[in-house]
């Protein structure tokens, strides 16, 4: 069986176009509910917001790197893990925080702040951690990855839709309110359909290699969820806030990861399988964790 580190997945230009479009719509849908005041929560709840940002952009990438050093996965798997860890929180994290009886205002603010910070920190984290690990550094050299190219792509996918969505919310609030359900849920359905198409177009690869990443993604996601909760404890925030920070750290924007994989890594098999399975698993884990917390009394 061919090495997963040398396999590339098939993904047509049409699918790439719709993947870009769906991710843009997802962020636009998220931003339709955002206000400038959501970014100002760092002034009202600085500890919780700082804890959330450190958990997502410092602790998770660092712990991912340590996990890779310990278990030594295949290089393309390792690079996929680093990329997922470098992505901002996923758009469905607000829903899971609501179910878990977390702090919804904090969840929205963390989504807003992380989406903006990710424009710089996602490519920076990927380049930094992958460059320190020789097997992944070699893969970066093979694809001749340019930091500026990744930065520009993330800016287009995250920055522009967020600005447009917030502008609608500010100047056309009634239109934003009516558009939100369609852009939010519709874009998720489109993204899900594209994910299925990617699976179907590369079914033999997924069938042959998916078993290699199931446990890997399970452990990685568990580390993310636990990290968020424990960092909240370190910062002394309430359990309600800790639940939210945990979910924001464990629900990653794997769709952005997939787009970067197909745009800059030619659909490298190991990376794509990690990101695609993470996209499925974090939904299952999100439901499990949030409904578990829903049944538990919030401790003061």
Q: At what angle do helices 173-201 and 254-264 cross, to 10 degrees?
A: 60
The pLDDT assigned to 215 comes to 94
The pLDDT assigned to 173 comes to 84
The pLDDT assigned to 163 comes to 86
Residue 6 pLDDT more than 80?
no
Q: What are phi and psi of 220, to 5 degrees?
A: -60, -45
Q: What is the distance between the terminal CA atoms of the chain, rounded to a whole angstrom? A: 54
pLDDT tens digits along 21-34: 777 887 887 788 77
Q: In sequence order, which residues have a C-beta less than 8 Å from that of residue 49 and are 6 or more positions away?
A: 41, 42, 106, 109, 110, 113
**Contact of 82 with 61, CB cutoff 8 Å:** yes
Angle among Cα 182, 276, 254 to the nearest 5 degrees reads: 60
Banded pLDDT at 267 (limits 50, 70, 90): confident
**Mean per-residue pLDDT, 146-172:** 83
Residue 1 pLDDT more than 60?
no
| Summary mean pLDDT of the chain | 85
The pLDDT assigned to 298 comes to 66
Residue 106's CB is within 10 A of a number of other CB atoms, namely 26
Give exposure, 250-283, as e/b (b: 16+ Cβ within 10 Å).
bbbbbbbbbbbbbbbbebbbbbbbbbbbbbebbb
Q: In sequence order, which residues have a C-beta less than 8 Å from that of residue 10 and are 6 or more positions away?
A: 201, 202, 267
Residue 145 pLDDT more than 70?
no
The pLDDT assigned to 50 comes to 92
Domains and CATH numbers, the chain: 13-289 (1.20.1530.20)
Better-scored residue on pLDDT, 186 or 284: 284
Residue 113 pLDDT more than 80?
yes
Q: Could you identify the residue written with the tokens 């339709």?
A: 32
Better-scored residue on pLDDT, 219 or 4: 219
Banded pLDDT at 98 (limits 50, 70, 90): confident
Say whether pTM exceeds 0.85: yes
* % of the chain residues with pLDDT over 70: 95
How many helices and strands, by DSSP H and E, does the chain display? 17, 0
The token pair that represents 154 in the structure block: 């993330």
**Mean per-residue pLDDT, 196-215:** 82
The pLDDT assigned to 107 comes to 84
Better-scored residue on pLDDT, 164 or 3: 164
């Amino acid at each position: 069986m061919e090495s997963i580190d040398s396999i590339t997945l098939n993904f047509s230009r049409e699918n790439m176009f719709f993947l870009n479009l769906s991710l843009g719509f997802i962020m636009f849908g998220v931003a339709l509910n955002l206000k400038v005041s959501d970014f100002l929560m760092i002034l009202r709840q600085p500890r919780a917001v700082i804890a959330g940002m450190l958990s997502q952009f410092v602790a998770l990438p660092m712990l991912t790197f340590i996990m890779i050093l310990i278990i030594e996965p295949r290089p393309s798997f390792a690079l996929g893990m680093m990329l997922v860890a470098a992505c901002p929180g996923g758009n469905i994290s607000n829903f899971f925080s609501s179910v878990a009886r977390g702090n919804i205002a904090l969840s929205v603010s963390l989504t807003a702040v992380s989406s903006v910070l990710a424009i710089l920190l996602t490519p920076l984290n990927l380049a930094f951690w992958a460059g320190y690990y020789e097997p992944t550094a070699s893969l970066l050299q093979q694809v001749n990855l340019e930091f500026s190219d990744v930065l520009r792509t993330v800016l287009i996918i995250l920055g522009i839709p967020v600005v447009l969505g917030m502008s609608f919310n500010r100047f056309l609030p009634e239109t934003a309110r009516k558009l939100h359900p369609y852009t939010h849920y519709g874009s998720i359905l489109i993204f899900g359909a594209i994910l299925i198409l990617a699976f179907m177009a590369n079914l033999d690869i997924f069938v042959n290699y998916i078993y290699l990443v199931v446990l890997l993604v399970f452990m990685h996601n568990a580390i993310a969820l636990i990290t968020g909760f424990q960092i909240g404890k370190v910062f002394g925030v309430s359990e309600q806030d800790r639940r939210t920070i945990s979910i924001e750290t464990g629900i990653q924007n794997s769709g952005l990861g997939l787009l970067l994989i197909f745009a800059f890594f030619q659909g490298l098999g190991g990376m794509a399988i990690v990101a695609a399975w993470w996209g499925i698993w974090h939904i299952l884990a999100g439901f499990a964790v949030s409904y578990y917390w829903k049944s538990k009394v919030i401790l003061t």
